[in-house]
């Protein structure tokens, strides 16, 4: 169960980082990002778009926080890989 949670959390973190870099990039008119909506963005739309991204970041952070709280109930930090990855040496 918590494996899945950790995967989700990692994915969310990536998304958060991405959204944050998008936010940073919208400051420049030529915003080349993974987000196609940003590629041709008109200056007058900037403010709205930045707001949207801020909301996105906030939402993702919220999701991530909830996930973390859920995973905290699990004792300690889990081992990232299961033991089977470790059998090759024997």
Which range, of 1-5, 65-69, 85-89, averages the lowest pLDDT? 85-89
Taking CA atoms, 17 is separated from 5, 12, 28, 61, 69, in Å, by: 18, 9, 18, 10, 20
Structure confidence at residue 72 (pLDDT): 64
| pLDDT tens, position by position, 12-62 | 888 878 877 777 665 555 544 555 655 566 666 777 778 888 888 888 888
Per the model's pLDDT, the better-predicted residue between 70 and 34 turns out to be 70
pTM for this model (two decimals)? 0.37
Structure confidence at residue 18 (pLDDT): 82
- Residues sharing a CB contact under 8 Å with residue 8, sequence separation 6 or more, in sequence order: 67
């Amino acid at each position: 169960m918590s494996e899945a949670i950790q995967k989700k959390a990692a994915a969310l973190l990536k998304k958060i980082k991405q959204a944050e870099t998008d936010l940073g990039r919208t400051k420049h008119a030529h915003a080349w990002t993974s987000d196609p909506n940003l590629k041709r963005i008109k200056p007058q739309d900037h403010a709205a778009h930045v707001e949207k991204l801020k909301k996105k970041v906030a939402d993702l952070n919220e999701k991530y926080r909830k996930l973390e709280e859920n995973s905290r109930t699990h004792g300690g930090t889990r081992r990232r890989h299961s033991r089977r990855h470790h059998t090759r040496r024997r």
